[in-house]
A and B are shown apart, each in its own frame.
Chain A
Amino acid sequence: MQRLALPASAKTLASDVRRCLLVAADEGVLRTPPESIFRLLKTEERTAERGTIVVAMLGGATFDKGQSEDAFFIRSDGARLSFGVAVAYQRGAEPELLTYRFHLRFARNGSPAFIRLDLNDESRDPLMEPRSHLHPGSDGLRLPVPVMTPLEILERLLYGTPTPQ
């Protein structure tokens, strides 16, 4: 997989994502207030072997199963956003994007009802399932898409993915 330009530290990665969401709230693209953005965005750091730090950034609920809006970032059009990103940081090496999941559920009963961008773990045969793929409203349908940085995806989902008419 191509190496993407990721921030050099886990703290900067989290701050970039947090700032992107806060700017969206400031601009009215998100109606989630800043204090809820701080509440919803969590960072878990774990140290693996040889000093590698695995950072999981968790934004909102893991699954969107119709629970309360409080568990999601809410766009001004009512679409609900949640995500999880895992990145490995090792001293002396470029950061490595491990996996991600960005789920956007649209507010109206349109089609598709949701889209989800997944970056799977790298071990599966890519001919069987593209590692980076888009679910256009169906868990069983996967369309290959280029791998993007977390910020690129967030900006697309916040600013460039209107609710289907």
Chain B
Amino acid sequence: MTDTLPPAIAPSSVALRTVSRAGTGDWLLLVVTGAQLDPVIDQLAENMRAFGGQVSTTDASGRSIQEVIDSIAASAPGTVLLVHGLDGLTDEEWHHIDLLRSRLIGAGTIVLVVSLVTAGRISRSAPNLSSWIGGAMWTLDPGADSLSDAERNERLKALRRWSKLTDEEVVRRAEAGSLPDDPEYTEWLVLLDRADLVAPEIG
């Protein structure tokens, strides 16, 4: 591990990799930068469950090393445990965890969700744990499963060329109920954040 960011990965991709290898003793490390952690953890867990994974999460904030180790050791083989709240641990504490690593053998698939600083600490102070992680470390890109602004603009340009309409005309016609019914217009309205013009009144 280094102090540079590992390769970026989408939530769906990390979910598939995690669930497809769920067994015993698999360790993955996800670096999260510049994002609120709670929605990221929820997003990861939801993606993993959608692929059929049995997922639980644990927040290690404010807990002792012993408690953190106990919670990881208690995760059942074949399940995935997302561990976050580890950024308060010092180099010495990671070294301590490394020394107690035999207690972690036999756990399920463990995903450590940490900052880049913590990834560096693990690399420096927990070399054996690092070897368990190996190359299974990425930087999570929470928005990678959605369109980027550039991709969204390219699609809108293609739709305008195809229809010879402007965004404003499409919205106006949708509001008036005179928009053609082709599926491309649904995509257009969603891209314009006008889902209210495509969603039916259900129920």
Q: How far is the CB of A99 from chain B (nearest CB, A)?
A: 4
| A122 contacts B by Cβ under 8 Å | yes
Contact A92 B199 (CB under 8 A): no
**How long is the Cα–Cα vector from A18 to B17 in the complex, in angstroms?**
13
Whether the Cβ atoms of B186 and A44 lie closer than 8 Å is: no
Q: Is the CB of A101 within 8 A of B183?
A: yes
Total number of A residues with any Cβ neighbor in B under 8 Å: 49
A93→B162 contact, CB < 8 A: no
Pairwise interchain contact B187-A58, C-beta atoms closer than 8 A = yes
Q: Is A96 an interface residue (CB 8 A)?
A: yes
Q: Is A88's CB under 8 angstroms from B200's CB?
A: yes
| A residues near B200, Cβ cutoff 8 Å | 88, 96, 98, 122
B173-203 with Cβ < 8 A to chain A: 177, 179, 181-187, 190-191, 193, 195-196, 198-203
Contact B13 A38 (CB under 8 A): yes
Set of chain B residues within 8 Å of A61, measured between Cβ atoms: 155, 158
Overall SS of chain B's interface: helix
Q: For residues 61 through 98 of chain A, which have their beta carbon under 8 Å from a beta carbon of chain B?
A: 61-63, 84, 86, 88, 90, 92-94, 96, 98
Tell me the bound Cα distance from A42 to B144 in angstroms.
8
A46 to B193 Cα, complex, angstroms: 7
Residues in B whose Cβ lies below 8 Å from that of A86? 183, 186-187, 190, 198
**For B145, what are the chain A residues with a Cβ–Cβ distance below 8 Å?**
14, 38, 41-43
Rounded to whole Å, the gap between the CB of B192 and the closest CB of chain A is 9
Closest Cβ of chain B to A151, distance in Å, is 14
For the complex, is B115 an interface residue (Cβ under 8 Å from A)?
A: no
Inter-chain contact B190/A93, CB cutoff 8 Å: no
> Do B191 and A44 touch (CB < 8 A)?
yes
The answer to whether the Cβ of B57 comes within 8 Å of any Cβ in the partner chain is no
User: Is A111 interfacial (CB 8 A cutoff)?
Assistant: no
Number of B interface residues in the complex (CB < 8 A) = 39
Contacts of B138 in A (CB 8 A): none
Contact with B47, one of A11, A99, A120, A129 (Cβ below 8 angstroms): A11
Residues of B within 8 A of A54 (CB): 190, 195, 198-199
Inter-chain contacts of B191 with A (CB < 8 A): 44, 56
Interface centre among B182, B183, B185, B187 (most CB of A within 10 A): B183
Q: Taking the nearest CB of chain B, how far is it from the CB of A130, in angstroms?
A: 11
A118 and B12 within 8 A (CB) = no
Given A58-B147, A121-B186, A12-B12 contact (CB < 8 Å)? no
Tell me, yes or no, whether A161 is within 8 Å of chain B by CB: no
Q: Does A98 contact B181, Cβ atoms closer than 8 Å?
A: no
Is B36 in contact with chain A by the CB < 8 A criterion? no
Q: Provide the residues of chain A in CB contact with B50, threshold 8 Å.
A: 9, 11-12, 14-15
Q: How far is the CA of A121 from the CA of B12 in the complex (A)?
A: 29
A152 on the B face (CB < 8 A) = no
Residues of A within 8 A of B (CB): 9, 11-12, 14-15, 18-19, 22, 35, 38, 41-50, 52-54, 56, 58, 61-63, 84, 86, 88, 90, 92-94, 96, 98-101, 118-124, 129, 131
List chain B positions with a Cβ less than 8 A from chain A. Answer: 10, 12-13, 15-16, 46-47, 49-51, 144-147, 151, 155, 158-159, 162, 177, 179, 181-187, 190-191, 193, 195-196, 198-203
A-B contacts, 9 listed (Cβ < 8 Å): A15-B47, A46-B195, A56-B187, A61-B158, A62-B184, A86-B190, A101-B182, A120-B181, A121-B185
